[in-house]
């Protein structure tokens, strides 16, 4: 089913109504920009001999079908008053769809808090890397996985050594959510790692958790220097990095530069990818930065273009805070409420937090905005959530320390697996849990709502929607590439 937009709009609907309203993506500015300018952008790239790869084209095409009744829907009916509604399908893509991104955000946070992260202190470690390595991660995802392994081992070893133990006698764990975007819609691949704020020690009767003190500034500085050195050494040994006396640079294998390489490179470096200003810095709006006596950089270390931050933590009893943190990390790339148009027709995107130099907005020409979206689309089969240490699937301690596994282990009975329980927590239940929207209850009589049919045949879809148009006196829906949205009024008997 189609989800709901992330951000203020979703919450306002929940707070004011308390029931589900179908998301209408065609009424959002993002949808209108993509619908109007993506065909032009795609044709321009093809004309230049730089046709977009298939997975990027599918991302845009499926987004334009997301939440549109003319591309399929579910019929849901109240068991008490027999009132019916139509619920459109979603695209389920991972790039830039705010609706599907909100759904994935909720699902990821619920899974981590309910099934993976134990009732122990957790700390977020955020690692950012230099521009060149961001490009390398986007072009070579397998390298990103190996670098992530180096980073995890460095932090885990630091935590274990801090207890005075060794890897043979103590273990820790982390969940990494790989975030691909920056606040200016630039491609910024970085790691959000939710680490146990301590280690497990195996004793008689099961693992025992030992909490650690927060890291000091000196420890963070030492750790980020160690990480940058180890990552650089790995890239050198792999033949991907060359360092000389004055500088260091990447040496990718000789190959023709693809369309995506060009788009990714410009997005990583905040530059314009298409149009008459190609290669120039993206336009920004700035204001006089607010004067602050002292900027709090606690928990931050920097070295050689790498930065490591670990100032955010959640206590063992702060499960609500932990879930909010998981949602923040897993949030969609684009917030509809921060998107607007200038008088000249350019796209203006407001930064979530102004930069230190006072930058508050980024301005894109429409085609360059489409290029930014294309760069955010991950390659197929690249897993953006990774589990390490005691949370890894092959860990012998996973069943003992995770909420999903520990309950089953303690009871000794046969219950549903974690994946089965995760599937049992339906999207409707997650809507109620996070946004206080109840899709399972009829808004007219309070009865239970259930799915009665899935309509996917184009002929049947057209017949149903044209029947609704005749009953309400609306003009027929258009079908095809330029199809518009279904009627917006309330329909008697059968509703959207």
Choice between 422 and 129, residue whose per-residue pLDDT is larger: 129
3-state secondary structure of 81: coil
Residue 473, both tokens: 């006196």
Give the mean model confidence (pLDDT) for residues 186-204. 93
405 CB contacts (<8 Å, ≥6 apart)?
Answer: 398, 399, 418
pTM of the model: 0.83
CA distance 50 to 276: 17
Q: What is the pLDDT of residues 296-309, one digit of tens each?
A: 566 899 998 899 99
Q: What is the pLDDT of residues 9-63, one digit of tens each?
A: 333 333 334 555 666 788 899 999 999 999 999 999 999 888 999 999 999 999 9
Mean pLDDT is lowest, of 31-35, 364-368, 457-461, 492-496, for 492-496
CA distance 332 to 339: 14
Q: What is the pLDDT of residues 368-405, one digit of tens each?
A: 999 999 999 999 999 999 999 999 999 989 999 998 76
Write down the pLDDT at residue 10.
36
Write down the pLDDT at residue 249.
62
Q: What is the pLDDT of residues 65-111, one digit of tens each?
A: 998 888 888 888 888 888 888 888 888 899 999 988 988 998 899 89
Contact between residue 224 and residue 307 where contact means Cβ atoms under 8 Å apart: yes
Choice between 452 and 57, residue whose per-residue pLDDT is larger: 57
CA distance 152 to 66: 37
DSSP secondary structure code for residue 273 in this structure: -
pLDDT at 493 over 50: no
Contacts 24+ apart (CB under 8 A), 6-10: 6/98, 6/99, 6/101, 6/102, 6/105, 6/331, 6/332, 6/335, 6/336, 7/98, 7/335, 7/336, 7/337, 7/338, 8/337, 9/336, 9/337, 10/102, 10/435
Choice between 73 and 128, residue whose per-residue pLDDT is larger: 128
Contact between residue 55 and residue 369 where contact means Cβ atoms under 8 Å apart: no
Q: What is the pLDDT of residues 301-335, one digit of tens each?
A: 999 889 999 999 999 999 999 999 999 999 999 99
Write down the pLDDT at residue 14.
36
Percent of the chain's residues with pLDDT above 70: 78
CA angle 169, 172, 175 (to 5 degrees): 160
- Starting from the edge strand earliest in sequence, which strands make up the sheet with 494-495, in order? 449-455, 73-78, 84-88, 494-495
Q: Are strands 84-88 and 494-495 parallel, antiparallel or unpaired?
A: parallel
CA distance 454 to 249: 54
Write down the pLDDT at residue 492.
36
Residue 35, both tokens: 């619908």
User: Is the alpha carbon torsion for 54, 56, 62, 64 positive or negative?
Assistant: negative
Q: What are phi and psi for residue 205, nearest 5 degrees?
A: 95, -5
pLDDT at 417 over 60: no
Percent of the chain's residues with pLDDT above 90: 51
Write out the DSSP string of 84-105: EEEEE-----SSS-HHHHHHHH
Element containing residue 141 per DSSP (H, E): helix 141-162
pLDDT at 426 over 70: no
pLDDT at 185 over 60: yes
Give residue limits of the domains in the chain: 8-97+428-495, 104-274+298-337+382-424
Exposure of 26 by Cβ count < 10 A (0-12 exposed, 13-18 middle, 19+ buried)? middle
Choice between 421 and 206, residue whose per-residue pLDDT is larger: 206
Quote the mean pLDDT of the chain.
Answer: 82
232 CB contacts (<8 Å, ≥6 apart)?
Answer: 241, 243, 248, 304
Exposure of 483 by Cβ count < 10 A (0-12 exposed, 13-18 middle, 19+ buried)? middle
Q: How far is CA 107 from the centre of its chain?
A: 11
Highest mean pLDDT: which of 122-131, 357-366, 401-410, 449-458? 122-131
């Amino acid at each position: 089913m189609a989800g709901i937009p992330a951000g203020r709009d979703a919450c306002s609907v929940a707070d004011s109504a308390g029931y589900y309203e179908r998301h209408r993506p065609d009424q959002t500015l993002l949808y209108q920009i993509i619908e109007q300018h993506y065909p032009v952008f795609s044709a321009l790239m093809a004309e230049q001999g730089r046709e977009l790869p298939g997975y990027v084209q599918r991302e845009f095409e499926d987004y334009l079908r997301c939440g549109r009744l003319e591309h399929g829907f579910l019929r849901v009916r109240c068991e008490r008053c027999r009132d019916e509604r139509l619920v459109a399908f979603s695209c389920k893509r991972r790039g830039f769809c705010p609706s599907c991104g909100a759904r994935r955000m909720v699902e990821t946070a619920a899974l981590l808090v309910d099934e993976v992260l134990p009732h122990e202190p957790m700390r977020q470690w955020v690692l950012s890397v230099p521009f060149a390595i961001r490009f390398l991660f986007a072009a070579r995802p397998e390298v990103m996985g190996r670098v992530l392994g180096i980073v995890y081992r460095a932090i885990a070893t630091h935590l274990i050594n801090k207890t005075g133990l060794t890897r043979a006698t103590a273990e820790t764990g982390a969940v990494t959510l790989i975030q691909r975007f920056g606040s200016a819609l630039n491609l910024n691949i970085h790691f959000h790692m939710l680490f146990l704020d301590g280690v497990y020690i195996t004793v008689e009767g099961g693992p025992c958790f030992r909490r650690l003190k927060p890291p000091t500034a000196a420890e963070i500085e030492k750790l980020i220097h160690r990480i940058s050195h180890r990552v650089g050494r790995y890239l050198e040994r792999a033949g991907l990095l060359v360092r000389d006396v004055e500088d260091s640079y990447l040496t990718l294998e000789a190959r023709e530069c693809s369309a995506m390489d060009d788009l990714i490179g410009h997005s990583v470096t905040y530059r314009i990818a298409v149009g008459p200003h190609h290669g120039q810095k993206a336009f920004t709006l700035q204001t006089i930065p607010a004067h602050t006596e002292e900027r709090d950089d606690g928990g931050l270390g920097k070295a050689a273009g790498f930065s490591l931050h670990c100032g955010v933590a959640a206590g063992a009893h702060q499960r609500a805070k932990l879930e909010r943190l998981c949602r923040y990390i897993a949030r969609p790339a684009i917030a509809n409420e921060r998107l607007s148009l200038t008088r000249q027709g350019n796209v203006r995107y407001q930064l979530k937090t102004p930069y230190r130099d006072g930058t508050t907005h980024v301005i894109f020409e429409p085609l360059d905005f489409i290029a930014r979206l294309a760069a955010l689309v991950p390659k197929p089969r690249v897993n953006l959530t990774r589990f390490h240490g005691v949370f890894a699937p092959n860990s012998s301690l996973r069943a003992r320390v995770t909420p999903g596994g520990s309950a089953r282990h303690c009871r000794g009975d046969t219950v549903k697996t974690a994946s089965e329980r995760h599937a049992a927590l339906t999207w409707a239940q997650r809507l109620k849990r996070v946004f206080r929207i109840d899709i399972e209850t009829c808004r007219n009589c309070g009865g239970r709502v259930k799915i009665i049919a899935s309509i996917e045949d184009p002929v049947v879809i057209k017949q149903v929607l044209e029947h609704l148009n005749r009953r309400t006196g609306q003009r027929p829906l258009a079908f095809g590439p330029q199809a518009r949205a279904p009627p917006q009024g309330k329909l008697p008997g059968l509703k959207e």
